[in-house]
Structure 1
Amino acid sequence: MSALLSATAPRTFDDARRWVAEGTSLFFDRIGSLSPSDWSDASSLPGWTRSHLVGHVCANAEALGNLISWAATGVEKRMYASVEQRNADIERASGLPADELTAWFSRSADALDAAMDELTEEQWRHEIITAQGITRPASDVPWMRAREVLVHAVDLAAGTTFADLPEDFLVALGQEIRTKRGLSDEELAAVSGPLPDVVAWLAGRPHSLIDAPELGPWL
């Protein structure tokens, strides 16, 4: 599977919009399968319950909506007012009832999707700045959202694994992460296994690979 992650075929804008739709549906299905008591259980992300994680994904939709507004109007609108506010909002969300979090997820995802539908081709080319301070075209926002809903659907620890994610998404994600980590083709080729496990390893998530070197945090 390493050859797939060494390829240079770019993901497309339409790919990203499709992955957002698939990831939103998958994430919604996963939280819908949880009982009220399940929400306070640990997610697979250190220090976060499932409620923390869902609150983060909801807030992310609204934050990306700020970037879409920026692209539409030309008026700067950052994702978050500050790191401190972002963290405080997630902590507050972790105490909300399951039904409120579920409704917030649905509402925020629908609002983001509707806002993206309204952008013109020219507006998609407008520059925005991510929470990491990186300047990117607004057309990268769907990819940013696709990563959130699909990867965090796995992080819910509610039965979904990387093997359940679209293969073309895994290829695109794996290519991006290996580039960010600066892994050479030789280093990647030394790790052999199924594509979902290789991408999980690259993303710093649990995997079943043998003798794969430990990687630091990603995203």
Structure 2
Amino acid sequence: MTAPTEQLDWWRQGEEHLGTALGRLTDEELAGPSLLPGWTRAHVLAHLVRTADATADLLTGARTGVRTPVPGSDEARDAEAATAALPPGELRAAVLAATQRLAAAVRELPDQAWSAQVSTRPGHDLPAADLPWLRAREVWVHSVDLDAGIGFADVPDDVLAAVVDDVFRRWDARDVVPDVALFAGDREWGTGALAVAGTLPAVTAWITGRGDGADLQADGPLPSLAPWA
């Protein structure tokens, strides 16, 4: 297995996009609410620091063959809370440092190591080649959550389509796919009875819980959607 070139490109672009979003926020605004209920912008950034560090650890394990234990949920939550409480300058530095550690782990990974199995949580193994997409999805979606004047319309169409693909895969794995046929341009997801159509940014916002679907067209009332992440 070789390096996942397309996903790595999405990840690099996403990290730059995150930097743009962060650069638009003042220090005072970091303590303000994000678009995620109950989360401040600082909490979103702290979560991105933790996931960058976790991804870097997994890639290092793929390279060295030594697995880093996956932190428990309580440990991860405490680490996020501590990072979110940092002074604004230190929080910004933590975001940059975590991104740089992750970039270094990607650079150091030889091609053959992309096929190594890593564990993102107990009992859930996947090839290292899947990690760039998981991180890319995080940075693109959470850049929107920072509410810094950046929305899904600023995300490349191929990334948005991949996010929608990902959501439907996750729903399918849990047998909670809504009874819809979802259309965005020439793209289609689902085979349900209710036809729902809209722009790709509007569709992505709705199915990820970042929009109420008011800007979509449908044959009837929109259903409630199961969480996807």
User: Above 0.5 in TM-score?
Assistant: yes
Aligned partner of 2:105 in structure 1 is 115
Q: Does 1:196 align with 2:201?
A: yes
Q: Does 1:140 align with 2:130?
A: yes
Instruction: Give the C-alpha shift of residue 153 in structure 1.
Output: 0.2
Mapped contact 2:60–2:109 kept (Cα < 8 A): no
Residues 145-156 of structure 1: matches in 2 within 5 Å? 145-156=135-146
Instruction: Give the C-alpha shift of residue 34 in structure 1.
Output: 0.9
- Structure 2: how far apart are the matches of 1:90 and 1:105? 12
Mapped contact 1:204–1:216 kept (Cα < 8 A): no
- Cα-Cα RMSD: 1.8
Structure 1 moving runs of 4+ over 4 Å = none
- Structure 2: how far apart are the matches of 1:95 and 1:47? 15
Aligned partner of 1:42 in structure 2 is 33
Residues 26-105 of structure 1: matches in 2 within 5 Å? 26-78=17-69, 80-105=70-95
Mapped contact 1:61–1:145 kept (Cα < 8 A): yes
Residues 152-191 of structure 1: matches in 2 within 5 Å? 152-182=142-172, 183=177, 185-187=190-192, 190-191=195-196
- Structure 2: how far apart are the matches of 1:141 and 1:188? 34
1:110–1:189 CA distance, 2 compared to 1 (3 A): farther
**Higher strand content, 1 or 2:** 2
Mapped contact 2:35–2:147 kept (Cα < 8 A): yes
**Deviation per residue, 1:124-176 (Å, 9 max, x gap):** 10000113742100011101110111000001111111111111011111112
- Structure 2: how far apart are the matches of 1:26 and 1:62? 18
- Structure 1: how far apart are the matches of 2:228 and 2:123? 16
Aligned length: 207
Aligned partner of 2:225 in structure 1 is 215
- Using the size of structure 2 for normalisation, the TM-score is 0.85
Report 1 or 2 for greater relative contact order, CA contacts < 8 Å, sequence distance ≥ 6: 1
Query: SS in structure 1 opposite 2:166?
Result: helix
1:158–1:84 CA distance, 2 compared to 1 (3 A): same
- Structure 2: how far apart are the matches of 1:115 and 1:186? 40
Query: SS in structure 1 opposite 2:126?
Result: strand
- Structure 1: how far apart are the matches of 2:44 and 2:81? 10
- Structure 1: how far apart are the matches of 2:132 and 2:203? 24
Q: What is the identity percentage for the equivalent residue pairs of Structure 1 and Structure 2?
A: 35
**Higher helix content, 1 or 2:** 1
- Using the size of structure 1 for normalisation, the TM-score is 0.88
Q: List runs of 5+ in structure 1 lacking aligned partners.
A: 1-11
Greater shift after overlay, 198-207 or 147-156?
198-207
Q: List runs of 5+ in structure 2 lacking aligned partners.
A: 182-189
Mapped contact 2:30–2:88 kept (Cα < 8 A): yes
Q: Which amino acid aligns with 1:107?
A: A
Q: Which amino acid aligns with 1:26?
A: H
- Structure 2: how far apart are the matches of 1:91 and 1:147? 22
Aligned partner of 2:115 in structure 1 is 125
